[in-house]
Structure 1
Amino acid sequence: MSQRRWWQVALAVVGVFIVIVAVARGQQVYLAPDIRWEPPPPQQVTPAVPTGMTQPQISPDGGDDLLQSMVNVALVIAGLVLLAVGIYFLVRFINWLRERNIELPKPKEPGVRRTEVADQLEEEGQAALLQLEDYSFEGIIAAWQAVQRAGAAVSEPREEWETSTEYATRLAAELRAAQTDVIDLAGLYRRARFSGHETSREDLDQARAALTAIITAVREAAERQAAADRKEAERLEQERLAAAEAASGGDR
């Protein structure tokens, strides 16, 4: 049944119910306003009856009152029936609206755009790699800080109770990178920053290899996530179109 047909049925039921109520109210007895002055009661005059004849007994006629009561009862019953029918069609109309405006699950908005994280890490990582090309220990510091900033976008900050290795392990899992690369780069950072020993070329080459591997892993993870998001969006769009087609087919 189309939406226009539903509204026509609902309006017809309401209109009939209003007419019935108006008729029932129109047949009620009009009560005069309260007037304090009361006329004296009329005197009963008994007509003279000829001798030998008895006065006929006049019984009050209650037929009109009985008929009026039956009409009122019939109107009430009819009104209740129409009201029940109206409620029935109203419930069906509401259910029809719910089926037509079906709510489909929306695709989850990713908390972090991994593509943006990969872009940021690649940009900062390239700057760190340039410093590593010059065999500067500051390149190791810049490389680890770039990885830390990328990790801050996809994970919680380092907890006070976490060791450096525990934090690096969790960071690797969040970035979808190899644990060995992240742990190695973190260890090289601590050695260059706090140990006081001179950074060797072997350390710089190891840092360059670890950072390059991390950048590649983060980029690949971002591409996989983007492909999964597109696939999920296509699936939800197909479900939405199928639901809309089913709802429109039910109206015919």
Structure 2
Amino acid sequence: MNRGRGWIVAGATLVVLLAVWAASTSRVDILTFREPKPTTPTPPQQGESGRTVDDRQTEASEEVLEWAGTVFVVLLSLLALAALTILVGAVWLRRRRAERERRREGAGARVDHDDAFDQEVPDAIAQAAEDQLTALTAGTPRNAIVACWLGLEEAAATAGIARDPAETSAEFTARTLSTYAVNDTAITVLSALYREARFSEHTLTEAHRSAAVDALRQLRADFSRTVQDPSAHVGSP
């Protein structure tokens, strides 16, 4: 717990303790209040029940004061609870904002690796593209396209790029691939074909397979070139 949060919790605890103390002392003062007795007693007037008029008036006054004291205690307790709720909510919102800031800062950050690792990543993706070209020719177009993209996802996971918790695996893979100097259109085509194959219900044809093959060949060529020039990644002209 950092120092700022500690002060907030301490303040909330103090508010509750003060409210309880004030409520208890106020209730005692109210309920123990008595009207001053007259200096010159007057002859009591007897009622039908044997109680005097003064007795009935005193009982009525005590009931009103007791009711007012109860209402006061309840209102004070509610105010203390509301103050505590606001303080806790403020702490929670502050933590949420801090977490969102950390996620934004880390979403596109690359993990530091040595040059050997930076060269291995595009090499692994280029090899995955080569393997998936063979896989694309087998099975139905739908299954082949899904398997092709999943193979690229596995290779992209080794790139050391932090994943935003809000991203899907397909979005993360597309963003990872685009950090290198590769054809963005090929990435867009492949990811769109993957979503269509994965989530649509209509039949995919050989035309879809052919489009996936063309896009994957482009990616393979781009990553093969990147293997020869490791500097061809984010920020490259």
TM-score (norm 2): 0.42
From the CA coordinates, give the structure whose radius of gyration is larger.
Answer: 1
TM-score (norm 1): 0.40
